[in-house]
């Protein structure tokens, strides 16, 4: 019996890319590949790329350049580029880096085994189509190997919002939702393999409208279907758009015990002028009223957000409006970035904010967000929370898990095992985590 071939995957970007990398590895498992943690002993290297951050394509080319020595020493080594940079750059990747054997877009990776076989004959293979077939149905069934207690599950892809700063509609395509029965089938399979918490993924996940037995279902209706799966203890979802936060989803946060009290709801800015220029189609006030309704349904919910500073034409007054919104919401955690141009997007053609001014604004915003995050974490001390334990900690007898609110929690002298869901009393707050003790 021949030795298995080794596959090294490097994943950039969001949770959806993590999920995609898992599925690509599984699909190539049928071709005799097993994963390795080092590119040095790989028979195939696959970069699953993201196009959101600044100079994303150049970072991929730089990474590929590091593999030239490996390719020279191992001519049979196959190198592939997948994901959003692959979709955006296409054949340009092979032109600039001839060592690349295949390029596959995020909607075509179910064709990866056939592409790998063609590359094995020396052919250069490119597939950045938006195929009509459902890639998830074309993928091989997930193997029954034991899984960790948490998993991602993509239920929706693409976006129709066309925010002025974003390339997702161009790299991932229009909004598409997976049928309810297929999502439930995959969720049940994950639970059979040991998963107790599932995070539903989508570029705009709360726009979910998957086909059900009696018509399209909303995300809230899907969550209630998942709620019926024995052994599934926790449900989360990300990332959401304020305009698609429907009444039934808000209600579910107050009534569905398995839906965790954590919501990532990006606003991007607090200035109505900038929001309009971003093509966000909501105002600061409508966002704040939405937060009020969500907290009325679930008062203890932890709100997370995304912010872009230094967007074209942003003034100091516009930025102050963002700080005012942050003060009003009091985020438990948030992600903030300095605007960077994306070729082909409307904002790339506009007058840019001075980089030094954008840097200063980012530092001021991050200082405020960090203070709020610490205040929320400190407020957890003395409270009892559920913790789903995932792995041993750095010290003997220590276990680490996630709270209902997605805080990392460390517990010393802990007899819990990975996958155990236990009650924990929080005893102290650190910079990015909490410490607790088991109750009973």
Binding site for [4Fe-4S] cluster: what residues are annotated?
A: 14, 50, 84, 159, 163, 166
Cβ atoms of 328 and 299 within 8 Å: the answer is: no
CB 334 within 8 A of CB 307: yes
- Measured distance CA(394)–CA(238) in Å, rounded: 29
Q: Please state the residue numbers annotated as binding site.
A: 14, 50, 84, 159, 163, 166
The secondary structure of the chain, three-state, reads CCCCEEEEEEECCCHHHHHHHHHHHHHHHCCCEEECCCHHHCCEEEEEECCCCCCHHHHHHHHHHCCHHHHHHCCCCEEEEEEHHHHHHCHHHHHHCCCCCEEECCCCHHHHHHHHHHHCCCCCEEECCCCCCCHHHHCCCCCCCCCCCEEEEECEECCCCCCCCCCHHHHCCCCEECCHHHHHHHHHHHHHCCCCEEEEECCCHHHCCEEEECEEECHHHHHHHHCCCCCCCEEEEECCCHHHCCHHHHHHHHHCCCECCEEECCCECCCHHHHHHCCCCCCHHHHHHHHHHHHHHCCCCEEEEEEEECCCCCCHHHHHHHHHHHHHHCCCEEEEEECCCCCCCHHHHCCCCCHHHHHHHHHHHHHHHHHHHHHHHHHCCCCEEEEEEEEECCCCCCEEEEECCCCEEEECCCCCCCCCEEEEEEEEECCCCEEEEECC
């Amino acid at each position: 019996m021949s030795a298995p071939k080794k596959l090294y995957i490097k994943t950039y970007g969001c949770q959806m890319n993590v999920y995609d990398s898992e599925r690509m590895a599984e699909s190539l498992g049928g071709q005799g590949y097993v994963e390795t943690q080092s590119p040095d002993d790989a028979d195939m290297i696959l970069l699953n790329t993201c196009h959101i951050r600044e100079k994303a394509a150049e970072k991929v080319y730089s990474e590929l350049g590091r593999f030239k020595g490996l390719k020279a020493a191992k001519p049979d080594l196959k190198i592939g580029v997948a994901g959003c940079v692959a979709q955006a750059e296409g054949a340009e990747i092979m032109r600039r880096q001839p060592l690349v054997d295949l390029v596959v877009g995020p909607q075509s990776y179910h064709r990866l085994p056939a592409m790998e076989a063609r590359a094995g004959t020396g052919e250069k293979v490119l597939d950045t189509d938006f195929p009509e077939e459902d890639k998830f149905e074309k993928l091989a069934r997930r193997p029954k190997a034991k899984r960790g207690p948490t998993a991602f599950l993509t239920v929706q892809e693409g976006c129709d919002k066309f925010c002025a700063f974003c390339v997702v509609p161009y790299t991932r395509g229009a909004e598409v939702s997976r049928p309810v029965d297929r999502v439930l089938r995959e969720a049940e399979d994950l639970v059979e393999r040991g998963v107790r918490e599932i995070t539903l993924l989508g570029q705009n996940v709360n726009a979910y409208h998957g086909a059900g037995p009696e018509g399209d279902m909303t995300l809230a209706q899907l969550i209630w279907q998942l709620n019926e799966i024995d052994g599934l203890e926790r449900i989360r979802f990300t990332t959401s758009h304020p305009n698609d936060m429907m009444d039934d989803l808000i209600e579910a946060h107050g009534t569905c015990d398995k839906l965790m009290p954590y919501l990532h709801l990006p606003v991007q800015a607090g200035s109505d002028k900038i929001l309009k220029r971003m093509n966000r189609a909501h105002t600061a006030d409508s966002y704040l009223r939405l937060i009020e309704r969500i907290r009325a349904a679930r008062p203890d919910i932890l709100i997370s957000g995304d912010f872009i500073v230094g967007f074209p034409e942003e003034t100091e007054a516009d930025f102050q409006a963002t700080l005012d919104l942050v003060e009003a919401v009091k985020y438990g955690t948030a992600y903030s970035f300095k605007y960077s141009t994306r070729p082909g997007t409307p904002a790339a053609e506009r007058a840019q904010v001075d980089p030094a001014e954008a840097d200063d604004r980012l530092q001021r915003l991050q200082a405020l967000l960090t203070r709020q995050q610490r205040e929320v974490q400190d407020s957890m001390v003395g409270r009892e929370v559920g913790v789903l334990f995932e792995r041993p900690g750095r010290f003997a007898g220590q276990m680490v898990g996630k709270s209902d609110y997605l805080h990392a929690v460390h517990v010393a002298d802990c007899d819990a095992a990975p996958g155990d869901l236990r009650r924990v009393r929080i005893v102290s707050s650190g910079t990015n985590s909490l410490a607790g003790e088991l109750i009973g």
